Amino acid sequence: MSKGITSIITIVILLLIGVSLAGSFFIWVNRTQTTFQNKTAETITQQSSNTAKLAKIENIVPQTRNITIRNAGTASIPVNEITVYVGNALQTGRWTDALGNQITEIQPQNVALFSASFPSGTSCAGMEVKSVSPGFPDGDKTVC
């Protein structure tokens, strides 16, 4: 009689171990799937936000070193999210609106004037000018 009870107890214990392993696996898969789903949603939201921020070069006046940039997107672009390169050199400068007032962001479909800081007396003639923004990571390029 003792041998019969031992084998039943062994089977019950093995079944409990199997059920607990299956439960643990299910919980792990569920949490992993939820994590991936949340990360994917965050990435899509970030990409959608970035695509709405498109800085395009509209005009360049080499003599005054002024570059007109339009926000061709649907969201405002803070000017600190736009980088301007002239001949592969990062430019610093002043951002103003059409009236000459200093600005911190470009509203959708509006233009801003970037006064580049490359040395006085030099011209960007023949150089590539590029503006890089969140929605345009490869940059909008044109020749000065």
Q: Are residues 37 and 72 in the same domain?
A: no
Q: Are residues 45 and 113 in the same domain?
A: no
The structural domain count of the chain equals: 2
Q: Are residues 47 and 112 in the same domain?
A: no
Q: Are residues 128 and 65 in the same domain?
A: yes
Q: Which pLDDT belongs to residue 43? A: 85
Q: Are residues 65 and 40 in the same domain?
A: no
Q: Which pLDDT belongs to residue 26? A: 94
Q: Which pLDDT belongs to residue 119? A: 65
pLDDT of residue 1 exceeding 60, the answer is no
- Greater model confidence, 113 or 50: 113
Q: Are residues 68 and 31 in the same domain?
A: no
Distance CA 1, CA 43 (A): 63
- Among 30, 51, 72, the domain-final residue is 51
Q: Which pLDDT belongs to residue 33? A: 94
Q: Are residues 67 and 126 in the same domain?
A: yes
Q: Are residues 124 and 59 in the same domain?
A: yes
Q: Considering the entire predicted model, what is its pTM?
A: 0.66
Residues 6+ positions from 64 with CB-CB distance below 8 Å: 115
pLDDT tens profile 3-30: 678 888 889 999 999 999 999 999 999 9
- Among 13, 29, 51, the domain-final residue is 51
Q: Which residue, among 81, 22, 32, 72, has the nearest Cα to 52 in the 3D structure?
A: 72
Q: What is the mean pLDDT of residues 99-124?
A: 85
Distance CA 100, CA 95 (A): 9
pLDDT tens profile 37-92: 999 988 888 777 777 888 899 998 887 788 999 998 888 999 999 999 988 888 88
Could you list the residue range(s) of the whole structural domain that residue 15 is in?
1-51
